[in-house]
Amino acid sequence: MNKYNYIQVTTNDKFKLNGLYKSGENSKSAVIMIHGFTSDFYSHKFYHSIAEKLSKQGNAVILAQTRGTGIVTEFLKTDGSGEDIGSYYEKIEEAHLDITAFIKFLLNEGYSEIILTGHSLGTIKSVRYLFEGEYKDKIKKLVLLAPFDKNAFMEVKAPKKWQEFVEIAKQKIIEGKGREIVPVPEYEDFAMSYQTFYSWYVQDDLSCIWDFYRKNYDFPVIKKINIPTKVIIGNKDAFISYPGFGTTTESCMKIMKKNIKDCETVIIGGSEHCYIGFEDLVADEVAKFV
């Protein structure tokens, strides 16, 4: 069995990121796995199940650290300085810098077909890369694991008020207070900074990728995805199904199937957001697609 190698890459803005790498055949695909909010690149069992299956097929795999790793995480820069980022201070619009660093590594290793696999918030980062990434043309396929309808989450928690709070967060950033923490629990369940709140919830199309709860939204971003895409969601995933808005796993899948040109969807009965107990099934589905 191909074992992991530890790797370290450097982003264009000089941050050092870590990863676990299984090498593969250069004629095969290389898969980068992007974790979700407050998560990391090594804890979830399904990451390793997927990596093992793909490696057996001869594919290369990277379990990638992002600057959103953990809650508050210090990241070192090439000049020896450090900065606290993690999920509470991350800006989603900077995620493409992290992904680019790992793509550069794979290109230098001789791979030419790159596949992005994102989980939860990582699905948003992966889709955004197709629009913001330096090497977006190198991405040949997309795997989306448990897309996260973050705006529906906020609409349940603070109807309408959260959109007003976006402007408050913007003003805090202008005042140089972007790293202060938003009030909890009025606007968030997590103690994220104003800069992260604004990054998540500013109302533009890249922030509204998975707005399934909006009845008349026309999904302009995913309509532009022009590479083969596979979406895998558990039917008990609470971060996509919101009964108050009439959304179910099935209805969200239909929207993706309708709007993404080449889209394969799989619903895993009994599975929740992190596929606990269903890791091998998820790995099989990803391996078939890759």
Total domain count, the chain: 2
Give the residue among 147, 135, 121 at the shortest CA–CA distance from 241: 147
Q: Are residues 15 and 131 in the same domain?
A: yes
* pLDDT > 90 in the chain, percent: 92
Q: Which domain holds residue 175?
A: 150-209
Give the residue among 182, 259, 189, 178 at the shortest CA–CA distance from 218: 259
Cβ-contact 135, 173 below 8 angstroms: no
- pTM of the entire structure? 0.96
Q: Which sign, positive or negative, has the C-alpha torsion 39, 40, 46, 50?
A: positive
pLDDT at 122 over 90: yes
Q: Are residues 225 and 197 in the same domain?
A: no
DSSP state at residue 42: S
Question: pLDDT tens across 197-250, in order?
Answer: 999 999 999 999 999 999 999 999 999 999 999 999 999 999 999 999 999 999
pLDDT score for 187: 65
The domain boundary, picked from 209, 238, 257, lies at 209
Q: Are residues 75 and 189 in the same domain?
A: no
SS3 193: strand
The domain boundary, picked from 188, 209, 230, lies at 209
Full DSSP string of 102-116: HHHHHHHTT---EEE
CATH number, domain at 138? Answer: 3.40.50.1820
Q: Which residue has the higher pLDDT, 203 or 184?
A: 203
Please report which confidence band the pLDDT of residue 1 belongs to, taking 50, 70 and 90 as the band edges.
low
Distance of CA 39 to the CA centre of its chain: 11
Q: Are residues 196 and 252 in the same domain?
A: no
pLDDT score for 188: 65
Phi/psi for 193 (5° steps) reads -75, 165
**d(C-alpha 205, C-alpha 223), whole Å:** 11
Q: Are residues 103 and 202 in the same domain?
A: no
**d(C-alpha 117, C-alpha 169), whole Å:** 30
The domain boundary, picked from 209, 226, 251, lies at 209
Please state, in angstroms and as integers, the Cα–Cα distance from residue 139 to each residue in 10, 23, 114, 117, 259, following that order.
20, 18, 5, 11, 19
Q: Are residues 230 and 183 in the same domain?
A: no
**d(C-alpha 129, C-alpha 14), whole Å:** 19
Buried residues in 256-278 as b, exposed as e (16+ CB within 10 A): beebbeebbbbbbeebbbbbeeb
Q: What is the mean pLDDT of residues 115-139?
A: 98
Q: Are residues 74 and 177 in the same domain?
A: no
Question: pLDDT tens across 79-95, in order?
Answer: 999 999 999 999 999 99
Q: Are residues 185 and 222 in the same domain?
A: no
**d(C-alpha 105, C-alpha 19), whole Å:** 11
Q: Are residues 159 and 242 in the same domain?
A: no
Q: Are residues 118 and 231 in the same domain?
A: yes
How many CB atoms within 10 Å of residue 132? 18
Cβ-contact 17, 99 below 8 angstroms: no
SS3 198: helix
Q: Are residues 46 and 131 in the same domain?
A: yes
SS3 33: strand
- Interaxial angle between packed helices 45-56 and 279-289, expressed in degrees from 0 to 180 and rounded to the nearest 10: 40
Q: Are residues 226 and 239 in the same domain?
A: yes
pLDDT at 189 over 90: no
Both tokens of residue 50?
């997927």
